[in-house]
Amino acid sequence: MYLTMFLSSIGFSIVMTSIWPFLRKVDKTADTSFLGWVVAAYSLGQMVASPLFGVWSNYRPRREPLIISILINVAANVLYGYVHAPPSHNKYYMLLGRAFVGFGAGNVAVVRSYAAGATSLQERTSVMANISASQALGFILGPALQAAMTCIGPTGLSWKLIDLELNMYTAPAFLGAFLGVVNIVLIIALFREHCGVDLDRLRRINTNIQESPEMLENSDDNIDLIAVVTSNILFFIIFFVFAIFETIATPLTMDMYAWTGKQAVLYNGILLVGVGVESIIVFMTTKILSKRFEDRLMLLGGFVVIFAGFFILLPWGNQYPQIQWTEIKNASNYSSAVIKYNESSIVTRNFLIQPSLGLDAETVGCPMQQVWCQYIPIIHLTQYILSAALIGVGYPICNVISYTLYSKILGPKPQGVYMGWLTASGSGARTLGPVFVSQVYTRYGPRWTFGPICGIVMAATILMGLTYKRLIGFSIRYQRLQ
């Protein structure tokens, strides 16, 4: 299950930093607004599939939904690698490919429900941390593999007989398909079902704390639904803000620092590898800290760190992005112009002028149609790196603790359906986050993108404070009721 989670996260992350330049390459009509839908398609597919696979895993051997979901993932990766082939509407084929990759990734609910059912409460935090670490390791290796494949170049190799183009954009998708086949073989050959016994429950029975079989069978009646709903809301917010960060990384750096698509893929890949390594260290540290601090307290601390990470991204200063200006021919590389905005302010700006560009040449800088480029200061590279580092601490803490706390709230019952809904809430966040950021960022810029995110994280912190006393394990709540 660790390996399945690892390979599933590779399937998501291995193309993340290259989606935007690849989308622009295969379909010139695509813009950053459509990029949001392409990124969101993965999570939309996962949101639909997670409850379905969760129910399936409750009533049938888990090997079945795992194999079917991975087969869907393999086919979707192949489709992504061939989005260049259709004569038109290529961006919609990319959208479809990412949606089915996400549908296959609905097996995350199966993995986590299996982990919850096969462990005792003492083991739960450690196992959930290991699963999240496996996921983080996939997020590390995915961008690293993508960065390594930049050496193939945007043109790469082609095989006309089967209409195959193997380049820095398609090679990761084909590698993801291959890893999916390997995963299926390993599940068939090695995976065996195991249903663990809650050692805490046995101890309570042995110490004469009443816990009737009827209570266990009808545990739905004893679950605190307010705690369940609150956990889903908090989980939604955790994934919403992280999805915004990972979606905006490539367009933001291309706009702010005039990077080419290849540079943005390489540098963001390296940065995400660093954040991934940091996340694994945090996961391992969380396993230790969970023995000394309450889950609720650690979750609250994670939200505070995430808030700091997004607050740092708010732009300031008097340095502005270089603006694309491709209408002028045979000019020098840089020029100055006076821009009037807000009917009252005047600012002199540098324009990045690229003379005599061919049809396939890549323009760099902040697009002129994004009006905010003219008057919003840049986000300094130091700000961007520091923000990534803070989010790389806060997100893994919130991730592993939210899963662990949720499984404890549910108690001794099959958790496939509930884990499916939790995964679906995270997938819904990954769906809405990219759409939100692509629309707001394109129209209003980073200030109106990251400012509301700070408000959302603050609202989550307040919500957790209001429901703090209810976010407790099922066994603790039942003892209090008794």
Cα separation of 34 and 40, whole Å? 10
- Can you give the pLDDT at residue 293? 86
Cα separation of 77 and 31, whole Å? 22
**Token pair of 249 as six digits:** 């990384």
Per domain, the residue ranges of the chain are 2-317+379-481, 323-363
Instruction: Taking the CA atoms of 462, 468, 472 and 478 in sequence, report the sign of the dihedral they define.
Output: negative
Residue 4 to residues 11, 13, 81, 84, 106, Cα–Cα distance (Å): 11, 14, 22, 29, 12
Phi, psi (degrees; rounded to nearest 5) at 359 = -65, -35
- Can you give the pLDDT at residue 335? 44
- Can you give the pLDDT at residue 181? 92
CB neighbour class for 403 (10 Å; exposed up to 12, middle 13-18, buried from 19)? buried
- Can you give the pLDDT at residue 416? 67
Q: Are 329 and 300 in contact (CB under 8 A)?
A: no
Instruction: Name 347's bridge partners.
Output: 339
- Can you give the pLDDT at residue 462? 93
* Secondary structure element (H or E) that encloses residue 350, with its range: strand 345-353
- Can you give the pLDDT at residue 72? 93
pTM reported for the whole predicted model? 0.68
| 3-state helix vs strand vs coil in the chain, percent to 5 | 70, 5, 25
**DSSP per-residue codes, 250-300:** HHHHHHHH---HHHHHHHHHHHHHHHHHHHHHHHHHHHHHTTTS-HHHHHH
Topology classification of domain 2-317+379-481: Growth Hormone; Chain: A; (1.20.1250)
**DSSP per-residue codes, 102-153:** HHHGGGHHHHHHHHHHTS-HHHHHHHHHHHHHHHHHHHHHHHHHHHHGGGGT
Positions in the chain short of pLDDT 50: 197-219, 326-348, 351-360
Residue-wise pLDDT tens digits, 129-139: 788 778 777 87
Q: Which residue has the tokens 């009721």?
A: 481
**Token pair of 81 as six digits:** 């690698």
